[in-house]
Amino acid sequence: MSGGRGLVIGTAVVLAALAVVVVVVTHESRPPELPQGGSLTVTGALGGGEAAGTTEGYARAVEPRPFQFPEDHGPHPEFRTEWWYWTGNLETEDGRAFGYQFTLFRSALAPEAPARTSAWGARQVYLGHFTVTDVAGGGFQAAERFSRSALELAGASTRPFKVWLEDWEASSVGESTWPMRLRAETDAVALELLLEPGKPPVLQGDRGLSQKGPERGNASYYYSMTRMPSRGTVRVDGKTYEVKGESWMDREWSTSALGADQVGWDWFSLQLSDGSELMYYQLRRKDGSADPFSSGMWVPPAGSGSSEPVRVSREDVRLTVLDTWKSPRSGGEYPARWRLHVEKLGLDLTVTPRLADQELPVSVIYWEGSVGLEGSREGKPLTGRGYVELTGYADTQGQQRRESRARGVPEAETAADRPRG
């Protein structure tokens, strides 16, 4: 996600997990209490240097490449990090709404497998995030899990397609890639879905090369499945609901890190009622401005006569924050409502979280949740739904508090709590 899903949360959370539990075989939280010392920050994990880890010996995303399917749904172990991301909005026949996020990350510990005799030896570590938003019930559940790839505890394959972390998995049904099955469960919630492809894969950035900064190789290979018909079940509070809706899949692989001046990002995946979709990520700099490498893609409706996606840049998008929400756990203050305007598309949207608190209190704290939207395209009214991801907000403010406490400064006097302006 360094710019959205591009580059970063995948790397951030995996590096955070490695920093915290690299010697642990497995771990799951539902969700954990935040430690007094706080979690690892996004910038700490991805700001380069020792925290980001070495890139020597790994492949780099340096130029466009041909994509091949179904092969590219599977793993790319020559790159340091990759992730499979699914989000979606579902509902029951009588209209009860749910949102979900299911993410599996792979991170390499070394470019090549070391010579080991132990069955526990592994070059790859996997991490998973799983959330369910119960819109009507006002509930949000988040879980995190880690494992090394030894002894079939976690892994990924192409034929048949399968990515798994213990009993959390995404896999093809039968010999064909589609439908794709997602399965994840905790004590509190469970999800089992069948996903159809819907529209063809969309190559993000320059023919699938998503550049995140000016340095050569500071990029990911990135494609999306933007509108996947989905059906299955969601279990919440001991009750199972039959649901259907639409999902979004993001796939990236990379060997990179955040730029020195980048502190986080705001990522939007929006499915509009006219059949089009918009993905946009806005990278944020330390001074609060939008980074020039912010980027996105608009996908036209199927059968509209124009099948080619339209790339949008930072200059094309005007993103205005209309409201904020402050987390009672992390103290981070997040945007909580936006106006998103893309003049060259005639697109003007208001995006609103379906629940205010969809913050994941995991290894790297971030907000990712279901949103609704309304607005217009070329003067015609439309509605829609989607997902938004926000990183770097809790990190910066939480780090200020921790540093102040370490110096003995009273909580009320920390910079994060002082009035702005």
Per domain, the residue ranges of the chain are: 8-54+80-112+124-417
Q: What's the mean pLDDT in 207-217? A: 85
* Between residues 53 and 413, the one the model is more confident about: 53
Q: What's the mean pLDDT in 99-122? A: 82
What's the pLDDT at 36?
40
Helices (H), 320-392: none
State the DSSP code for 314: G
Question: Can you give the length of the chain in residues?
Answer: 421
pLDDT confidence tier of residue 47, bands split at 50, 70 and 90: very low
What's the pLDDT at 12?
53
Q: Is the pLDDT of residue 49 over 50?
A: no
How far, in Å, CA of 347 to CA of 297, rounded?
Answer: 13
Is 45 within 8 Å of 12 (Cβ atoms)? yes
How far, in Å, CA of 348 to CA of 211, rounded?
Answer: 26
How far, in Å, CA of 32 to CA of 12, rounded?
Answer: 18
The CATH class given to the 8-54+80-112+124-417 domain equals mainly beta
Is 8 within 8 Å of 105 (Cβ atoms)? no
Structure pTM? 0.86
Q: Is the pLDDT of residue 297 over 80?
A: yes
Is 290 within 8 Å of 265 (Cβ atoms)? no
Is 245 within 8 Å of 289 (Cβ atoms)? no
Helices (H), 263-420: 393-406
Q: Is the pLDDT of residue 96 over 90?
A: yes
State the DSSP code for 315: G
Which tokens is 366 given?
């971030």
What's the pLDDT at 213?
78
How far, in Å, CA of 192 to CA of 328, rounded?
Answer: 31
CA–chain centroid gap for 256, Å, is: 16
Q: Report the b/e string of 306-324 with b at 16+ CB within 10 A.
A: eeebbebebebbebeeeee
How far, in Å, CA of 254 to CA of 77, rounded?
Answer: 10
pLDDT confidence tier of residue 54, bands split at 50, 70 and 90: low
Rg (alpha carbons) of the chain, rounded to whole number = 20
Average per-residue pLDDT for the chain: 83
Residue with tokens 């996908």: 299
Cβ within 8 Å of residue 414, ≥6 positions away: 400, 401, 404, 405
Is 230 within 8 Å of 202 (Cβ atoms)? no
Q: What percent of the chain has pLDDT over 90?
A: 62
CA–chain centroid gap for 221, Å, is: 15
